[in-house]
Structure 1
Amino acid sequence: MSTLLISFLLFFPIFLLLVRKKRSSNRLPPGSLGVPIIGQSLGLLRAMKANTAEKWIKQRIRKYGPISKLSLFGKPTVFVYGPAANKFVFNGDSSTIANQQPKSIRMILGDRCLLELSGQDHKRVRDALVSFLKPESLKKYVEKIDGEIREHLKLHWHGKEQITVLPLMKTLTFNIICSLLFGLERGPKRDQFVSNFETMIAGMWSVPVNLPFTRYNGSLKASARVQNMVKDLIQEKRKKLEQKTASPHQDLITCLLSIRDENGQEVITEKEIVHNVMLVMVAGHDTSSVLITFLVRLLANDPAVYAAVLQEQEEIAKDKSMGEFLTWEDLTKMKYTWRVAMETLRMIPPVFGGFRNTLKDIEYDGYHIPKGWQIFWVTSMTHMDNTIFPEPSKFDPSRFENQSSIPPYCYLPFGAGYRICPGYEFARIETLLVIHRLVTQFTWKLQCSDNVFSRDPMPVPTKGLPIQIVPKNLQ
């Protein structure tokens, strides 16, 4: 009996400690992260699919505060919330915080894309991408993008009574990417690209189980096929550059191949070109198509906003002759339309959140985050904070009339700081050109009254947003 009593007295304090740890297992104890909870990835993915992910995150914040720990995609993770947390994530020292995605996504996109690089490597590759994607360079491609849009409408919209917006917008944005960024014109090779790319995208945010017949396994195989196709493109373009039959700036790949250092050596390796082409394909395809789709939905649901957008675009159209392409100067006049787009991005950001990876033990807001842990942030949490955006559920484009009034690190559809998306201007041009052509050539109404959407991982409207369209007798 005495032995049992002694054992009980020795074990009881440990038992109490374990109970306390279990009860507060998601809480970040001062100075320590404790033991992470495993298996919460499915909960988040289900919440995204059901469009309750923001609610899922809000419950965590109410229960555990703006900093808490969990396990996502097989790694211990720290969730952080608020403008200060966003600044910490986007402007963090690259020697302590790396812009790394979960291994499951890294296996698909590659480990030398911009999302994975830090320090001088990040700056070198980003500068190379920006050399093509900066406004000064993109100005001369407005006509080419407009031409792709007009061809798309001719093939897929004119002569139709009903279309489904999201899949068509994905087709359009991918065609623009193929034409402008890769110099890949319409034909069997582009069609093969599209097929493999869609399979790759379908499994990117699935449960990362690499077994035959799973979505993730299919995504990995499709990624390998796409990368091989990009490598073939690189070889073709390098040969044309050597033969001087191609311009150094006719598309993104030739631009990257043409950038040289002071010794005449290529600044970007072939592997980095491949992996960053993969990244640009994903970023340019999904985010722009989602934004345009939800703008179409908004304009169908909000007559006042539609009327204001239409008036702005008709003012531009009346000065154009039949068949004339839009210009950079025309885009500068679309100020209200872009404010509508920015408010749409605030309420329905295409990117739900992102990850960083700690390269060494760090301190944040009094807590110790061990080396190798993920840091997880969510875009919409500051977007829908009523202390930052009054009446956040109200659609109000006037919020962006004076953008300097919006506190730093609160509006994040394209990121922030030195890691802001280099394709921001490309997305703006593409969106404005598409909306101009749609509102001046068609009227439409929704065929599905359901206003909810899910995330997979991008926002997806009900049934892909089927609409009934009527052409206008305009150019």
Structure 2
Amino acid sequence: MNTLLVTIFFLVIPIFFLITRRRKSSKRLPPGSLGLPIIGQSLGFLRAMRNNTAEKWLEQRITKYGPVSKLSLFGKPTVFIHGQAANKFVFNNDGKTITSQQPESTRMILGDRNILELSGEDHKRVRNALMVFLKPESLKQYVGKLDGEIRKHLELNWHGKQKITVLPLMKNLTFNIICSLLFGVERGPRRDELIECFQRMIEGLWSVPLNLPFTRFNCSIKASKRVQNMLKELICEKRMQLEQKTALPLQDLITCLLSIRNADNEEELTEKEILHNIIIVMVAGYDTSSVVITFLLRLLANEPAVYAALLQEQEEIARSKSLGELLTWEDLAKMKYTWRVTMEILRTTPPVFGGMRRAMKDIEYGGFLIPQGWQIFWAIPMTHNDDSIFPEPSKFDPSRFENQKSVPPYSFVPFGGGTRICPGYEFARIEILVAIHYVVTQFTWKLCADNKFSRVPMPVPTQGLPIEITPRKQM
């Protein structure tokens, strides 16, 4: 009998302590539910994105659970955080506490060695390599080529038309710019096949990760493999051209990355890193700039005073140019009001809704535990529409950005922040300003659909923003 009691004691006590410890630990987890395995809250969140109610969806979570809550997104347990402190926490991490890691489904499509996935010295090395090409000093020499691409686009797709759909045309424009300036791929069958596969690839970026036949995710995976094979061929060709000295190191982004050497004369970036970062540049440059330009045209059709002021600025620049003369870096510096309008568009309708990080170890945040391996989800609109940061946030007001120093740190984050700020920021600025210059000085337009939009996951206006266009009389 005594032996039995002793045995029970030694069996029960460890179980008791284990249960107690787990209860104690679980109390420290943020409130909320992880929902069903794999699916979690993914379907509800994606539905809210499509209905353009994702911010309200998150606000309801905040009302119910408080400023920090747990859920499951895209197959992983996740902690949602928001606000300036959250943005600072996300962007100023050292790679040892949290790492910039996208959901497994996104990594499977975009690759695991792109700049969004890397941290610490790897992130710094890849970012420095990209900045060799994307820094302002390098980009100055490409303004003229970008100018030519945009003029050609308007000539082929706008002139002679009475009605167009803006978003697909802007995506066509930004992809052609990427192919020409960043990859050195000229117009033709190769570019056409690349854009077709690329579009199928990005459709599954924010989808439930069910890799079953005929699912959006499965189609995206297949398209990603084809895109990567095409880019591998291109990288091989560029390497051969460099070896034969028939290409210049800075003639496009790929040759630039291939040309970077370290002190030991070895490749600074692996071929896998070059490939995966080319893909991430494609995704960023294709979607974000096209969305911003589209919503700029939508805004200008709805805000006559903003349109008049922006048009006046652009007409003054146009009058200073002789017939056929290309825009210059100095002309872009004069587009101050146009860029303030663009910044306000980025505040009200940021192309990227939010992002994911991963906890590298157990973290204390906001009085709760974020367990090692869990995702950390943050959302850009939560500070952009905070009336304590931006008074009357629903009002479109470009004057908010007349003095950048008046905007509180870590509150305006469409391009990220800290060491994680988008390396393509300056390239996007040039692209947007040149495109808007030629559209507003060559055309007038009116909208043919309502002002609603959805997120899939980028903002998409109703019917892609169809407009009626009329050529302006050239000065």
Rounded Cα–Cα distance in structure 2 between residues aligned with 1:394 and 1:217: 41
TM-score normalised per structure 2: 0.93
Residue of structure 2 in register with 1:398 after alignment: 399
Q: Which residue of 1 aligns with 2:99?
A: 98
Q: Does the CA contact (< 8 Å) of 1:108 and 1:223 recur in 2? A: yes
Mapping of residues 21-420 of structure 1, within 5 Å? 29-30=27-28, 36-38=34-36, 39-420=40-421
Task: Write the deviation string for residues 61-107 of structure 1: whole angstroms up to 9, x where unpaired.
Answer: 11111110000011100000110011001111211211000000100
Alpha-carbon offset, residue 334 of structure 1: 0.1
Cα distance in structure 1, aligned partners of 2:419 and 2:360: 19
CA distance in 2, matches of 1:77, 1:33: 11
Query: Does the 8 A contact of 2:153 with 2:173 survive in 1?
Result: yes
- Quote the offset at 1:472 in angstroms: 1.4
Question: Post-superposition shift, 1:32?
Answer: 6.4
- The DSSP-based 3-state class of the residue aligned with 2:299 is helix
Question: 2:34–2:41: 8 Å Cα contact kept in structure 1?
Answer: no
CA distance in 2, matches of 1:32, 1:303: 47
Deviates more, 1:293-302 or 1:58-67: 58-67
Question: Equivalents in 1 of 2:352, 2:178: separation in Å?
Answer: 19
Distance 1:111 1:255 in 2: 21
Q: Is the 8 Å Cα contact of residues 67 and 79 (structure 1) preserved in structure 2? A: yes
| Residue type at the aligned position of 2:203 | A
Quick check: 1:241–1:254 contact (8 Å CA) kept in 2? Answer: yes
Give the drift of 1:37. Answer: 3.2
**2:456 corresponds to 1:456:** yes
Report if the CA contact (8 A) 1:33-1:369 is conserved.
no
Question: What SS does the corresponding residue of 1:275 show, helix, strand or coil?
Answer: helix
1:442–1:469 contact (8 Å) kept in structure 2: yes
- Per-residue CA deviation, residues 137-157 of structure 1 (Å, 9 max, x unaligned), is 101000001100000000000
Q: How big is the shift at 1:372?
A: 0.3
Letter in 1 for 2:187: R
SS in 1 for 2:213: coil
Are 1:33 and 1:368, in contact at CA under 8 Å, matched by a contact in 2?
no
In structure 1, give the amino acid aligned to 2:302. N
Deviations 1:377-408 (A, max 9, x none): 00001000000000000000000000111111
Secondary structure, in 3 states, of the residue corresponding to 1:413? Answer: coil
TM-score normalised according to structure 1 size: 0.93
User: 1:11 aligns to what?
Assistant: none
- SS in structure 1 opposite 2:52? coil
Instruction: Find the aligned partners of 2:433 and 2:27 in 1 and give their Cα distance.
Output: 48
Q: CA RMSD in A?
A: 1.8
Does the CA-based 8 Å contact 1:142-1:429 persist in structure 2?
A: yes
Secondary structure at 1:285's aligned position in 2? helix
In structure 2, what is the Cα distance between the partners aligned to 1:429 and 1:108? 28
Offset of 1:296 from its aligned partner? 0.4
Contact 2:82 2:378 in 1 (8 A): yes
Shift of 1:293: 0.2
Give the superposition deviation at 1:473. Answer: 2.3
CA distance in 1, matches of 2:472, 2:379: 41
Q: Is the 8 A contact 2:144 2:328 kept in 1?
A: yes
Please tell me whether the aligned partners of residues 30 and 79 of structure 2 are also in contact (alpha carbons under 8 angstroms).
Answer: no
User: What displacement does 1:276 show?
Assistant: 0.4
Contact 2:74 2:207 in 1 (8 A): no
Q: In structure 1, the residue corresponding to 2:114 is in which secondary structure?
A: coil
- Residue 472 of structure 1 corresponds to 472
Paired AA for residue 356 in structure 2: F
Q: Return the offset for 1:207.
A: 1.8
What SS does structure 1 have at the residue aligned with 2:468?
strand
Whether the aligned pair in 2 keeps the contact of 1:256 and 1:273 (CA below 8 Å) is yes
Distance 1:197 1:84 in 2: 36
Tell me if the contact between 1:113 and 1:276 (Cα under 8 Å) persists in the aligned partners.
Answer: yes
C-alpha spacing 1:195/1:34, structure 2 compared with 1 (3 Å): closer
| Aligned CA distance change for structure 1 residues 332 and 32 (closer, same or farther; 3 Å) | closer
Stretches of 4+ aligned residues off by more than 4 angstroms? 31-35
- The farther-off stretch of 436-445 and 37-46 is 37-46
Report how far residue 333 of structure 1 moved.
0.1
Deviations 1:101-122 (A, max 9, x none): 0000100000000010011000
Query: Residue 297 of structure 2: SS of its match in structure 1?
Result: helix
- Report the CA distance between 1:205 and its aligned residue: 1.3
How many Å separate the matches in 2 of 1:77 and 1:225?
31
CA contact (8 A) 2:228 2:275 kept: yes
Taking only the aligned residue pairs, the percentage that are identical comes to 71
Whether the aligned pair in 1 keeps the contact of 2:182 and 2:252 (CA below 8 Å) is yes
Tell me if structure 2 keeps the 8 A contact 1:338–1:432: yes
**Counterpart secondary structure, 1:412:** coil
User: Quick check: 2:78–2:376 contact (8 Å CA) kept in 1?
Assistant: yes
1:164 is matched by which residue type in structure 2? Answer: T
Unaligned runs of 5+ in 2: 1-15
8 Å Cα contact 1:179-1:185 kept in structure 2 = yes
Q: Equivalent residue for 2:444?
A: 443
| Cα deviation, residue 263, structure 1 | 0.9
Query: When the two structures are aligned, how many residues end up with a matched partner?
Result: 453
From the superposition, tell whether residues 260 and 161 of structure 1 become closer, same or farther in structure 2 (CA, over 3 Å): same
Task: Say if 2:102 and 2:355, in contact at 8 Å, map to a contact too.
Answer: yes
Q: CA deviation at 1:136?
A: 0.6
Deviation at 1:31, TM superposition (A): 6.0
Q: Which amino acid aligns with 2:438?
A: R
Listed as ranges, the gaps of 5+ residues in structure 1 are: 1-13, 22-27
The alpha-carbon deviation at position 204 of structure 1 amounts to 1.4
- Cα pair 1:248 1:254 within 8 Å, conserved: yes
Amino acid of the structure 2 residue aligned with 1:433: V
After superposition, the C-alpha distances for 1:178-237 in whole angstroms (9 at most, x for unaligned) are: 000000111110001010001101121122111111111110000000001111010000
- Aligned to 1:61, the other structure's residue is in SS state helix
Amino acid at match of 1:456: V
